[in-house]
Chain A
């Protein structure tokens, strides 16, 4: 079946970076973009952006800083989200979701930023 499996929870100090993975299976990985969404504790969903899995071209939500980076390793059907210079308010669950339709979601990766 089609699924997205994300890497495990992370605990980071302010100023550090984190890299989250999302591995797709059950479908042709490069047929769909990979979107990234975050959800702060007790809050709603926010689209961060997506990456074209064919070209590697990223697109970020308007207004977001250059804190995020999307990369790929298509040899293992995996997309990565890197977040630099972490702050306390980056504490959230980060989801990957398939394509622009968001029809399949990963299980989420909790990132906690705390000194």
Chain B
């Protein structure tokens, strides 16, 4: 089970934001890698992968997004929130059968 917090995150433009994702079991694969990704879904759009293997940013993803963590606890940080960041952020583990977190809705105050 992947548990995200908070469920809702009102943020001020230009301010930092942080989302937590906790797994009920270790996400370290037998190959030594940790398959934890973060996705962003804007209203009415498909999800877009931002981060894979905990901390690797996908091509074209702004460097204001960063991922960290290990084992069972992971965090997505946005250093300075922009208007285009509204939407729902999901973590997903791919170490076992793929499982998504419940999502964190980011909105601008």
Contact = CB atoms under 8 A, between A and B. Distances in A.
Interface in A55-101: 61-62, 95, 97, 100-101
Given A102-B37, A103-B49, A105-B48, A44 B100 contact: yes
Main secondary structure of the interface of A (DSSP, over half): loop
B39 A47 contact: no
Contacts of A95: 46-47
B87 to A, nearest CB: 13
Nearest to A105: B46
A102 B49 contact: yes
Nearest to A107: B46
A101 B90 contact: no
B37 A45 contact: no
Contacts of B46: 95, 105-108
A101 B100 contact: no
Contacts of B49: 101-103, 105
Interface residues of B, number: 19
B74 interface: no
Given A101-B49, A101-B52, A103-B52, A45 B94 contact: no
A107 B45 CA distance: 7
A101 B49 CA distance: 9
A91 B102 CA distance: 19
B52 A45 contact: no
B57 to A, nearest CB: 12
A35 interface: yes
Contacts of B101: 44
A31 interface: no
A10 interface: no
Given A101-B37, A101-B52, A102-B37, A47 B98 contact: yes
